[in-house]
Every structure is written in C-alpha cells, then in structure tokens.
Amino acid sequence: MKAVVLAAGLGTRLKANVPKPLVKVAGREIIYRNLSILSELGIDEFIVVARDKRIEEFLIKHRFKYKIVWNNYPEKGNGYSLYLAKDFVDDDFVLIMGDHIYERAFIEKAVKGKGLIGDKIAKYVDKDEATKVLSRDGRVEKIGKELDEYDYIDTGFFVLSPDIFKYAEEIVKEKGDEEVKLSEIISRAKPPVTEVSGYFWMDVDTPEELKKARRELIRLSVKSYGDGIVSRTINRRISTWISEKIVDHITPNQMTVITFLVGLFSALLVFVNRPLAGVLYQISSILDGVDGEIARASMRESRVGGWIDSILDRYVDFLFLLALAITLNDLRMWIVAAFAIFGSFMVSYTTERYKAAFFEDIYKEIRPMRALAGKRDERVFLTMVFCLIGWIDELFIILAILTNLRVILTVYLVMKHKKSAELK
C-alpha cells in the first residue's frame, strides 16, 4: 500500500524557518514520525506533494522510499495537492496531512479503517477550529468547520480508493484558479467513516499547538507500568517537565551521562555533607527518568542505550551505599550494610534476569509485581529521607530487610505465574 502525504502547505501561522512537516516536535520532525510508523506498518512507498526542496533532501537523508510531486501553487489548497498525486496511485492508499501528528496506537488502528478516520472525542484539539463531519449510514454526509451538528472530528487521516481522484478532478476544473479544499472533495465523494477515538493526534498550526504537542508526546513517553510509588507521584511530574524543556536540545545518551555524573557526585558528597548528598542522590533518580522519556518521545530508543543506562544506575547505587557504609561507626553494621547493598542489586538482577530468560517484562506479565515495595525510585527516596534525618544504621536495616524480602516474593510470584501458565 502507498501513502500520499500533503506537505505543500504555506504554514504562515507557525512562523517556522523550515516547512511545517520538517518542524521538530519532541526531538523529531513531524513527517519523520508519521512516515517511520507507517513504514513499520507496511506502507511501501510515499507520494509526497511538496513545494520546498528541503522536503526531498530530508526524505533522501532518511532513506524513505518516495516519489516527489511538486506543487508550484500551494495557495490552491490541500485539495489541489491531492489532485496532483492522481497519476501515482492505482490502488487503495493512505492519505495524511504533513502537519498532523499522530501517536503510534492511532495509526495502527487507522490504517485498518476505510474512508475518513473520525474521532468522536478529539480531546487534544480545539473543536471550534477543527473540521467537523456529519455522517449518514456510515458515510460522510457533510464536512466543514462551520457545522453545528456533527458526529466526528476529521483527523486528517484517510484510507481511500483511487476513485477519489475523479471527484478531485471535477472540482479542480470547476474552480479554475480558486482554492480547492480537501473537505470539498470529501464532501462530494462521501467516503465511509471509520471511528478511531481517544488517541493523541493534533494539527500543528501555531507555536502554542507546537508546545502542546511536545507536552503530550512527553506524557505518552512514560511507561504505564514498572514505576514505583515515588516515581508515579513525584519523580515523573518533575522529569516530564524537564524532558519537555530539553527534548529538542539534548540526546538520550547525553542525558544518561549527565545523570550518571550527578549520581557519582552525590556519592562523593557523602563524605562532606550527608543530607545534601541524599538530596542530590534523589535528584539523580529524578533525572534517571529523563533519558528514557526523551528516547521514547524522540523515537530514539535503543537496546544499547537502555542497557548502558541500567549498568550506570547500578554503579551509582553501589557507590552511594558504599560511601554511606564507610561512614558507619559500628563495624558490626557492615554485615547489615552488606546485605542491604546485595539486596539492592538482587532486586534489579531478578527483574532483568527474568527479561533475559523469558523475553518478557516482569511488570507487564506479572501484575502483582507492580505492587511490591522496594523499586529503585522508592529505595533512593528512602535513602534521601534517612540521610536528611541522620539515621544511617536504621536505613541499612530497613534496606536489608526490604530488598531481600522483595527478592523472595519475586521468586514466589514468578514460580506461581509460570506454574499457572503451564496449567493453561
């Protein structure tokens, strides 16, 4: 299947120094996001209607399979841009706007639909400014921004047949040099309507919409499982705010290094000022979420990056707890400290080893694991609190019990889950 991408709009309201499809949102160009996801879903060629040569340079750079169609009259509207693609499509095709952003889950559902993809909820867009759709018997009856009665909001995503070009040609001939709106073509063709509601998508026309889209993409980058209570209630609120500010300016790997250096410095600070060291250790835990958020939001996730991040986290945890242990006055507490440090490592080891052995995320597959106390964010926060009040002996006692008990419960839950799976 092919996809037609309308990327010849003037985009005057956004005031960008590049064509709108090349505007970066959360670290990635709009057109890159859509084309990458569509490529993974089986779209084998893109017919890109453009007016700026930088669009083609971008397509070449990222090795997309494409045909470029030049629109020398962008003022004639997006309906005219669609018309120009008529000689390059001979079967059902996807049609998307070059300035629309869609989350992956939306596109995965939309490509399976037919006709106009409509959203009944449209919670991320201004409905007063959006194009409305009134349907009848499952097909478009009316479409336009001025409709008072409507069923759907037009998402700018379509799955159409080549018949659409017959209607496009009719209207282009009728209009002459006047603007041809895509909505006029859709209104005359009356294609089916497929509902895909509740997912993130936006038309990015203004700087304010650009900021909103960036914020939502960062929000979507947060995993729905695996975080402890401290991350859910404190860390993520701060880390997502940081990610939103820096996602267009820093890479995930750079953020990983920064986080490691902050954690390393916190361990050294233990010998100078333990309360301040505890606070800095907690800050490093907050920052630890930023690299992953940036990686997912900017579509730069890599197994190597995640692997290195996990290794550096272990170094920071070990060095901080070791530094605290060195400051203990009672040598007998070293045994407790050893169990606390070992238990902290075993918590991470058991979850990562599960993934290596069964190729599954333990928090996704075994839901009770999400409720177990002792995740890294919780241990770091607990460490900060006890550093602030100066109860280091008590900290090691609690960590020794908490972490090793969690490991025992993890083994129990895994064995129970696997036994239950075998019985099924």
pLDDT tens-digit readout, 382-391: 999 999 999 9
HSE-up (13 A, CA, CB side) for residue 37: 21
Q: pLDDT-based confidence at 21, cuts 50/70/90? A: very high
* Structural domain ending residue among the three candidates 157, 189, 216: 216
Q: Is the pLDDT of residue 37 over 80?
A: yes
In the chain, the amino acid numbered 76 is K
In this predicted structure, the answer to whether residue 224 has a pLDDT above a threshold of 80 is: no
State residue 11's pLDDT score: 62
pLDDT of 16 > 90? The answer is no
Mean predicted lDDT score pLDDT of the chain? 93
Q: Is the pLDDT of residue 13 over 80?
A: no
Indicate if the pLDDT at residue 424 is higher than 70: no
Q: Over range 126-141, report the average pLDDT.
A: 93
CATH code for position 162: 3.90.550.10
Q: Are residues 79 and 195 in the same domain?
A: yes
**Does the pLDDT of residue 9 top 90, yes or no?**
no
Predicted confidence at residue 10, as pLDDT, reads 62
Tell me what the mean pLDDT of segment 121-138 comes to.
Answer: 92
How far from chain centre, in Å, is Cα 14?
Answer: 23
Residue 106 sits in the same domain as residue 187:
yes
* DSSP of 243-298: HHHHTTT--HHHHHHHHHHHHHHHHHHTTT-HHHHHHHHHHHHHHHHHHHHHHHHT
- Report percent pLDDT > 70 for the chain: 98
Judge if 192 and 316 occupy the same domain: no
**What digits encode the pLDDT tens for the residues 337-355?**
999 999 999 999 999 899 8
On whether both 245 and 96 belong to a single domain, the answer is no
Mean pLDDT computed over 400-412 = 96
Task: Give me the pLDDT at residue 54, please.
Answer: 94
Query: Which of the pair, 320 or 303, is modelled with greater confidence?
Result: 320
**Boundary residue ending a domain (216, 236, 263):** 216
First vs last Cα of the chain: how many Å apart? 39
Measured distance CA(312)–CA(168) in Å, rounded: 57
For residues 175 and 255, membership in a common domain is answered with no
Domain identity same for 190 and 127 = yes
Q: What is the pLDDT of residues 155-200, one digit of tens each?
A: 999 999 999 999 999 999 998 889 999 999 999 999 999 999 999 9
Among the residue ranges 25-39, 148-162, 215-229, 246-260, the one predicted with the least confidence is 215-229
Query: Which residue, of 159, 193, 216, is where some domain finishes?
Result: 216
Same domain, 345 and 210: no
Clarify whether residues 118 and 243 are in a common domain. no
Closest C-alpha to 250, from 286, 284, 294: 294
Q: For residue 359, what are the domain limits?
A: 224-423
pLDDT at 255: 96
Number of domains the chain is built from? 2
Same-domain pairing of 308 and 404:
yes
Bridge partner list, 119: 153
Mean pLDDT of the 201-226 span: 90
Q: Do 121 and 178 share a domain, yes or no?
A: yes
- With cut-offs at 50, 70 and 90, classify the pLDDT of residue 419: confident
- Quick one: pLDDT at residue 418? 87
Give mean pLDDT, residues 237-246: 96
pLDDT of res. 303:
87
Residue 4 pLDDT more than 70? yes
Q: What is the mean pLDDT of residues 293-321?
A: 93
What separation in angstroms does the CA of 198 have from each of 102, 118, 136, 273, 308?
12, 10, 22, 49, 35
Domain at 288, CATH number:
1.20.120.1760
Say yes or no: 173 and 44 in one domain. yes
One domain for residues 275 and 191? no
